[in-house]
């Protein structure tokens, strides 16, 4: 249970970083299309893993994909976002 809560805290931080990166003027060209595909995967009713384990798809796989996506962001964008979750100005 505590690991799931840590994963969700990490997901919240990654969502804030994604929002910051989408508004950044020097964002990579691939960020908007990937964010749209990720939102589609989160909202669609079809489950990729096994239809019985839809919770695994929504609560485990999507946050992990989001976290990996944030690792591919350029360093200058991640550096503009400090560890507390606020943009550095």
User: Looking at the domain assignment, is residue 58 inside a domain?
Assistant: yes
User: Looking at the domain assignment, is residue 89 inside a domain?
Assistant: no
Cα separation values, 73 from 7, 17, 63, Å: 19, 10, 16
**pLDDT tens for each residue of 56-87:** 667 777 888 888 999 999 988 888 876 555 66
User: Looking at the domain assignment, is residue 88 inside a domain?
Assistant: no
Domain count, the chain: 1
Confidence class for position 13, pLDDT limits 50, 70, 90: confident
Q: Is the pLDDT of residue 49 over 70?
A: no
User: Looking at the domain assignment, is residue 72 inside a domain?
Assistant: yes
Domain that holds residue 10: 2-79
Q: What is the pTM of this model?
A: 0.75
For residue 6, the Cα-to-chain-centroid distance in whole angstroms is 14
User: Looking at the domain assignment, is residue 35 inside a domain?
Assistant: yes
Rounded CA separation 79/89 (Å): 11
Q: Is the pLDDT of residue 35 over 80?
A: yes
* pLDDT at 87 (0 to 100): 60
pLDDT, the chain, mean = 78
User: Looking at the domain assignment, is residue 43 inside a domain?
Assistant: yes
Which one is predicted more confidently, 6 or 13? 13
């Amino acid at each position: 249970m505590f690991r799931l809560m840590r994963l969700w805290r990490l997901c919240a931080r990654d969502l804030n970083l994604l929002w910051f990166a989408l508004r950044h003027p020097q964002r990579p060209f691939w960020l908007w299309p990937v964010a749209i595909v990720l939102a589609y995967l989160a909202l669609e009713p079809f489950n990729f893993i096994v239809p019985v384990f839809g919770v695994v798809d929504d609560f485990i796989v999507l946050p992990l994909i989001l976290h990996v996506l944030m690792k591919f962001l350029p360093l200058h964008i991640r550096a503009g976002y400090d560890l507390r979750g606020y943009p550095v100005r």
